[in-house]
């Protein structure tokens, strides 16, 4: 995740009332009791989602009203506890918490607890679940509240989400990038965190080979378009989960990994082609669908063993 993700803040204060009011505006109404220490709160709007970082700097007790959204919380450091009705959940580094709409939660947080928190509207989760299934769902899913383990895939996906948006600080995150990383996180959350639609989601029948073929054709024709799992599944007329199963069965990779590989291959070919010598590395990346130059350079080096600029210099 990096040494200190989402470290910019919208408020640094030791005033309990000020912190409660700011937190209520960002997330939902709650009651707050703090010890001595300076708290830091920060948040980034990702269109439909809000990702924040919360550190109170002292022992804290927080009690929320029933929330109207999904809340996903992941400690970076420290420990804490949460209670919803008669269920107690321990929060520690790498092991988080998923709250459902309607939950009213009481937190007891250690002074060194530093956490990332996501606020996700109910409609966003429900819509993404329907995309994965390939058909409308009768109602929003209810998640198991504690993460399955510190190695749960959604924990890694949330770390990636924080890492991707971190370089933008308080500036708006480009919508294509925000959409891509949010889509990846939601898919991971719905596939790896148990909920009351999990059985149907994992029992979804695999798509026909023709669905894979049609998606491959669309990717190869236009890899630069802002594809997501949802739009690729719509192209094939199947659910997102079915498309993932079919891709892994037929090609050994997910649809989004296949898309990234095609984009990388096109960039590599362009950077080695003298005809493209007058086009900057950033323009080559953008023309092939990469919206984050730093991330592009990293995955390019992981794939080819060289930075894009090094490949460009090698053919001069």
CATH number of the domain bearing residue 65: 2.60.120.280
| 44 and 19 co-located in one domain | yes
The answer to whether residues 153 and 71 belong to one domain is yes
- Do 264 and 157 lie in one domain? The reply is no
C-alpha 110, offset from chain centre: 26
Residue 70 falls within a domain, yes or no?
Answer: yes
- What are 91's strand-pairing partners? 80
Task: Tell me the pLDDT tens digit for each residue of 283-309.
Answer: 999 999 998 888 899 999 999 999 999
Residues 50 and 104 in one domain: yes
Q: Is residue 4 part of a domain?
A: no
What pLDDT sits at residue 6? 53
Q: 77 Cβ partners below 8 Å, 6+ apart?
A: 93, 112, 113, 114
Same domain flag for 143 and 74: yes
pLDDT of residue 71: 95
Inform me whether the pLDDT recorded for 251 exceeds 50: yes
Q: Is residue 6 part of a domain?
A: no
- The CA dihedral of 129, 131, 136, 138, to the nearest 10 degrees, is 0
Is the pLDDT confidence value at 99 over 90? yes
More confident residue, 100 or 178: 100
Residue 3 confidence class, pLDDT cut points 50, 70, 90: very low
Please measure the distance between the N-terminal and C-terminal CA atoms of the chain and give it in whole angstroms.
Answer: 36
Return the pLDDT at 64: 92
- 158 and 97 housed in the same domain: yes
What is the tally of structural domains in the chain? 2
The pLDDT score that the predictor gives to residue 150 is 64
3: in domain: no
Which residues sit opposite 92 in a β-bridge?
79, 95
Alpha-carbon span 52 to 209, nearest angstrom: 41
Q: Distance (Å, rounded) from C-alpha 244 to C-alpha 8?
A: 36
DSSP labels for the chain?
--SSTT---SEEE--HHHHHHHHHHHT--EEEEE-SS-EEEEEEEETTEEEEEEE-SS-EEEEEPPPSEEEEEEEEESEEEEEETTEEEEEETTB-EEE-TT---EEEE-TT-EEEEEEEEHHHHHHHHHHHHTS--SS---B-SB-S-TT-HHHHHHHHHHHHHGGGTTSPPPHHHHHHHHHHHHHHHHHHS-BTTHHHHHTPPPPPHHHHHHHHHHHHH-TTS---HHHHHHHHTS-HHHHHHHHHHHTSS-HHHHHHHHHHHHHHHHHT-GGGTTS-HHHHHHHTT---HHHHHHHHHHHHSS-HHHHHHHT-
Do residues 185 and 215 both lie within one domain? no
Query: Can you give the residue range of the structural domain that contains 246?
Result: 205-316
Same domain assignment for residues 97 and 232: no
pTM for this model (two decimals): 0.71
Residue 312 belongs to some domain of the structure? yes
Asked whether the predicted pLDDT for residue 101 surpasses 90, the reply is: yes
Q: Is 2 a domain residue?
A: no
218 & 162 share domain: no
CB 14 within 8 A of CB 32: no
The last residue of a domain, from among 192, 213, 243? 192
pLDDT beyond 50 at 1: no
**121-149 residue pLDDT tens:** 999 999 999 888 878 888 899 999 888 66
**d(Cα 15, Cα 38) in Å, to the nearest integer?**
8
| pLDDT at residue 266 in the model | 92
Stretch 183-192: mean pLDDT: 90
Question: How high is the pLDDT of residue 314?
Answer: 77
- Average pLDDT rounded to a whole number, residues 196-217: 77
pLDDT tens digits, 80-94: 999 998 889 888 888
Q: Is the pLDDT of residue 204 over 70?
A: no
Whether 235 and 130 share a structural domain: no
% the chain with pLDDT above 90? 35
pLDDT at 2: 46
Examine the domain organization and report whether 188 and 210 are in the same domain.
no
Give residue 167's pLDDT band: very low, low, confident or very high (50, 70, 90).
Answer: confident
Domain boundary among the residues 143, 163, 192 is at 192
- pLDDT value at residue 307: 93
Mean pLDDT of 228-250: 86
Report d(CA 2, CA 103) in Å as an integer.
31
């Amino acid at each position: 995740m990096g040494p200190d993700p989402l470290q910019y803040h919208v408020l640094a204060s030791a005033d309990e009332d000020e912190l409660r009011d700011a937190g209520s505006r960002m997330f939902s109404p709650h009651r707050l009791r703090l010890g001595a220490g300076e708290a830091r709160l920060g948040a980034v709007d990702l269109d439909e989602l809000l990702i924040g970082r919360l550190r109170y700097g002292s022992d804290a007790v927080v009690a929320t009203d029933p929330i109207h959204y999904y809340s996903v919380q992941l400690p970076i450091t420290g420990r804490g506890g949460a209670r919803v009705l008669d269920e107690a959940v321990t929060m520690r580094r790498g092991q988080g918490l998923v709250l459902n709409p309607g939950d009213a939660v009481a937190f007891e947080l250690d002074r060194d607890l530093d956490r990332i928190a996501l606020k996700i509207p109910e409609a966003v989760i429900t819509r993404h679940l329907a995309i994965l299934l390939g058909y409308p769902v009768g109602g929003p899913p209810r998640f198991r509240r504690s993460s399955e383990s510190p190695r749960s895939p959604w924990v890694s996906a949330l770390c990636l989400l924080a890492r991707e948006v971190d370089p933008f600080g308080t500036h708006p995150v480009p919508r294509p990038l925000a959409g891509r990383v949010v889509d990846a996180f939601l898919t991971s959350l719905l596939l790896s965190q148990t909920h009351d639609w999990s059985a149907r989601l994992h029992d979804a029948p695999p798509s026909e080979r023709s669905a894979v073929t049609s998606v491959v054709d669309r990717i190869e024709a236009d890899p630069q378009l802002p594809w997501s799992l949802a739009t690729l599944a719509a192209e094939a007329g199947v659910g997102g989960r079915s498309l993932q199963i079919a891709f892994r069965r037929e090609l050994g990779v997910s649809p989004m990994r296949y898309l990234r590989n095609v984009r990388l291959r096109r960039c590599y070919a362009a950077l080695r082609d003298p005809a493209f010598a007058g086009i900057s590395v950033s323009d080559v990346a953008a023309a092939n669908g990469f919206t984050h130059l730093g991330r592009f350079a990293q995955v390019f080096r992981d794939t080819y063993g060289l930075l894009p600029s090094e490949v460009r210099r090698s053919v001069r």
